Structure 1
Amino acid sequence: MTLTDIRLDALDRLESEAVHIFREVAGEFDRPVILFSGGKDSTVLLHLAVKAFWPAPVPFPLLHVDTGHNLDEVIEFRDRTVERYGLRLHVASVQDYIDDGRLAERADGTRNPLQTVPLLDAITNNKFDAVFGGGRRDEERARAKERIFSLRNAFGQWEPRRQRPELWNLYNGRHKPGEHVRVFPLSNWTELDVWRYIERERIDLPQIYYAHQRQVFKRDGMWLTPGPWFGPADGEELVTKTVRYRTVGDGSCTGAVESDAADIAAVIAEVSASRLTERGATRADDRLSEAAMEDRKREGYF
């Protein structure tokens, strides 16, 4: 077989790019870390990291910023995955910051915007110089602006004007003491790419990504799960629906969608027909303003 006989399909090319990025970071940085929440994107990210360094173990620890309002199924999956691969997991707890007064609970109960300070403290305290995230450009306008290697200043802030050109798969990881680089190996993937890769690689996910019956209540046009995040409130009726989650996050602002997609083939068909990204359809924290995500990224958010 010659090189001309090798034909890579779209998923092969995306996988190859992501593996290259992981290995590039391993060669350029001293203390990388992978953000891992147990959601589909971070699970695919971890799967790619395992492939990049196999048969050696993944040489980076994991970091989860835990809002305390995560769905139980996701936390159970997170812990099971960490044990399966024998990885080190750092947990930055929003609840700890609320308990000791460093953060205050929001009136709306949403904790996603409160993740920034614990994240930046964890990066600083552990001296992480490269932070892998599962962000994709198709998710949201602010994420579409970001490079694969995204420099953050000494305060962890994103400065769009300091974005560097990335030509011919050359990535510039130079940074000053105190700065770090966010790295997004899934930048060029779409939600449909992610699901097709999950199908091809037979990647295990939390079962809430597939249709199941659940008690939910409606708020701001979304079906939310009841929990310690102030819901359901007066006038919000609790009903049983067949739903699934397209994305997972803080339970107070991450909605489920009505769906009969109980297996991966049905999910792929559903995503193929959708005209809304998962964040646009199910994330209330992105509806706070037209520039909600960009504002949070400038402060140091994912």
Structure 2
Amino acid sequence: MSDTGSTAFAAVADTADQYALSHLDALESEAVHIFREVAGEFERPVILFSGGKDSIVMLHLALKAFAPAPVPFTLLHVDTGHNFPEVLEYRDRAVARHGLRLHVASVQDYIDRGVLRERPDGTRNPLQTVPLTEAIQEHRFDAVFGGGRRDEEKARAKERVFSLRDEFSQWDPRRQRPELWNLYNGRHAPGEHVRVFPLSNWTELDVWQYIAREGIELPEIYFAHEREVFARNGMWLTAGEWGGPKDGEPVEVRQVRYRTVGDMSCTGAVDSDATTLDAVIVEIAASRLTERGATRADDKMSEAAMEDRKREGYF
């Protein structure tokens, strides 16, 4: 190749590099596309929003997708009644800051009415299915955004981005559709709905790197802090009204943080000295356990715990 040809080739390569997307830009672009597709295809979408990091990133992406217009979706939180106070406080601040509408489906309400019963172990995560599915039916939501990622757990790895649910909110793998070339099929019959997962192709590390890049605020429990905890089944749990600790489970003060948040009865903390985003990213990059595998007791109830809940309509 002549010198002139080599120079021209190098110039073209440099130009291509300038317009190449980073992996975070590519993930963001895909998620924004998904939000816009749902806005165009469905009548009554809703975002599941708990105040956890994945739902916070989802909301941030939705705000980006429609700026400067407001987000055209309402939010829905299934409140177990045993949520971390710091997370609920963040949830309410985020809703007020962005002028959003929030629906809360309360597990406690269903227990008070006798529709649901407390479990012997005090865990309320499995009790979320009925409040969630009834809220979807009551408000006629036809698309429900969730923050599930395929790297979290093997049952989640099977999910499509658009996951069809029947009129009972149940998942049937035989009815799921192929998603070639980022083409999503939102067709559904009356009473059915689609669960939508914009973060499907993200990893936990991607989420944290994106949070750092975008300067997204999080609840403080995601960073190392001193907390009263007790050991159960290899996890550090927080004492609370849900029934912990039991005799023989001494409470101690440790420096911990949470990789994921949910019902206090089944969400464990990890020992950590990561008080900054950079330190958390280093910690996650070195971890060989998924966040749910390391800190969620509800996923350890059986080999098919999440699969069972998917079929019932929870995830």
State the TM-score, normalizing by the size of structure 1. 0.99
| Partner secondary structure for residue 168 of structure 1 | helix
- How do 1:284-299 and structure 2 match up within 5 A? 284-299=297-312
Bigger proportion of residues as helix: 2
Q: What is the CA deviation profile of residues 167-201 of structure 1, one whole-angstrom value per residue up to 9, with x for unaligned ones?
A: 01100000000000000000000000000000000
Between the aligned partners of 2:184 and 2:16, the Cα distance in structure 1 is 26
Identity value in percent: 77
Between the aligned partners of 1:288 and 1:161, the Cα distance in structure 2 is 26
Which residue number in structure 2 is paired with residue 226 of structure 1? Answer: 239
- How do 1:21-32 and structure 2 match up within 5 A? 21-32=34-45
Question: In the TM superposition, what is the alpha-carbon distance from 1:6 to its structure 2 partner?
Answer: 1.0
Between the aligned partners of 1:3 and 1:230, the Cα distance in structure 2 is 59
| Partner secondary structure for residue 180 of structure 2 | coil
Between the aligned partners of 2:22 and 2:82, the Cα distance in structure 1 is 39
Between the aligned partners of 1:74 and 1:187, the Cα distance in structure 2 is 23
Q: What is the CA deviation profile of residues 41-98 of structure 1, one whole-angstrom value per residue up to 9, with x for unaligned ones?
A: 0000000000000000000000000000001000000000000000000000000000
- How do 1:1-302 and structure 2 match up within 5 A? 5-302=18-315
| Partner secondary structure for residue 51 of structure 2 | coil
Q: What is the CA deviation profile of residues 111-166 of structure 1, one whole-angstrom value per residue up to 9, with x for unaligned ones?
A: 00000000000000000000000000000000000000000001000111111000
Q: Tell me which amino acid in the other structure corresponds to 1:218.
A: A
Question: In the TM superposition, what is the alpha-carbon distance from 1:13 to its structure 2 partner?
Answer: 0.1
Give the aligned length.
Answer: 302
Between the aligned partners of 2:16 and 2:233, the Cα distance in structure 1 is 54
Question: In the TM superposition, what is the alpha-carbon distance from 1:2 to its structure 2 partner?
Answer: 7.4
Between the aligned partners of 1:28 and 1:2, the Cα distance in structure 2 is 36
Q: Tell me which amino acid in the other structure corresponds to 1:155.
A: F
TM-aligned CA distance change 1:266 to 1:2, over 3 Å: closer
Between the aligned partners of 1:228 and 1:46, the Cα distance in structure 2 is 30
Which of 1 and 2 has greater Rg?
A: 2
TM-aligned CA distance change 1:4 to 1:217, over 3 Å: closer
Between the aligned partners of 1:3 and 1:121, the Cα distance in structure 2 is 50
Between the aligned partners of 1:36 and 1:59, the Cα distance in structure 2 is 15
State the TM-score, normalizing by the size of structure 2. 0.95
* Structure 1: tracts of 5 or more residues without a match: none
Q: Tell me which amino acid in the other structure corresponds to 2:194.
A: V
Q: What is the CA deviation profile of residues 4-24 of structure 1, one whole-angstrom value per residue up to 9, with x for unaligned ones?
A: 741100000000000000000
| Partner secondary structure for residue 186 of structure 1 | coil
Between the aligned partners of 1:228 and 1:149, the Cα distance in structure 2 is 37
Between the aligned partners of 1:251 and 1:257, the Cα distance in structure 2 is 14
Q: Tell me which amino acid in the other structure corresponds to 1:102.
A: V
Between the aligned partners of 1:68 and 1:5, the Cα distance in structure 2 is 50
Between the aligned partners of 1:83 and 1:257, the Cα distance in structure 2 is 31
Q: Tell me which amino acid in the other structure corresponds to 1:235.
A: G
TM-aligned CA distance change 1:3 to 1:59, over 3 Å: farther
Question: In the TM superposition, what is the alpha-carbon distance from 1:215 to its structure 2 partner?
Answer: 0.3
